[in-house]
Amino acid sequence: MSGQAALSGLAVLVTGASSGIGRATALAAARAGADVAVTYLTNEAGAQSVAHEIRALGRRAFVTQLDLASDASIRAVGPAARDALGRLDVWINNAGADILTGPAGALPDVDKLDLLLAVDLRGTMLASWEAARLLGAGGGGVIINMSWDHVLTGMPGRNPEMFAAVKGGVLAFSKSLARTAAPLVRVNVLAPGWIETSFGEGLDEESRRSIAASTPLGRWGTPEDVARAAVFLASSDASFVTGQAILVGGGTVM
């Protein structure tokens, strides 16, 4: 990959970019030469902080709120980003519902399931359709969706069951969309594994060590590990890659 110039001159939209993997992806895109649209649901301060860092790198940034449970919000975000940045080339659907930490972690299982279906599956599908329409009309581009490495093997537990069903749906949907949107728009999937996000930080030290020890590469992943894979898929280095999933999980799932 051509380092700092990998995304030179492009405009990238990253949903859920106020923290975690989304934040790292937005900053990695800016370092690779892209202007970046940053979306958030509730953490506006985090999104503005990311935008400040992007501008410090000499790139343009646009911040806007996005609610993936709202059809109107999804329809509005792409044109707003395109108008603010002058173009739109890459749409990264990173945002998702958090059913593990915060208030949603205490919800009944059915409410958690409804939230995941509304945001992670339905929201990703609607956003992807909007992205495919917008990018296709602009001459082409790239869509990157987020799945989960364990959808390929499964994991015991009620939360993993729901997460696997929803993120497995994202994976299957993205493969079909890749065929529909070709040849103008490439559609690929990132499937992170154990990544150092707020969930990982909340685990006890014994659990953290056990997970690292069970990972062939011997450590937890970082948001930057996922972000670097996103930059690759967004770049011309991946110009003959579509309908594929890259597992960013240190080899836990192969």
pLDDT tens-digit profile of 114-150?
999 999 999 999 999 999 999 999 999 999 999 999 9
CATH number reported for the structural domain that contains residue 237 in this entry: 3.40.50.720
Q: Is the pLDDT of residue 2 over 60?
A: no
- Residue 231 within any structural domain of the chain: yes
**Any domain includes 253:** no
The backbone torsions φ and ψ at residue 145, rounded to the nearest 5 degrees and listed phi first, read -110, 160
Q: How do residues 4-29 score in pLDDT, each as one tens digit?
A: 579 999 999 999 999 999 999 999 99
CA distance 184 to 131: 12
Check whether 1 has a pLDDT greater than 80: no
pTM, 2 dp: 0.96
CA distances (Å), origin 73, targets 46, 68, 123, 247: 20, 7, 10, 30
Task: Tell me whether residue 200 is in a domain.
Answer: yes
Token pair of 242 as six digits: 């579509």
Count: domains in the chain: 1
**Angstrom distance (rounded) from CA 192 to CA 112:** 21
Domain range enclosing 33 = 3-248
Mean pLDDT of 66-84: 98
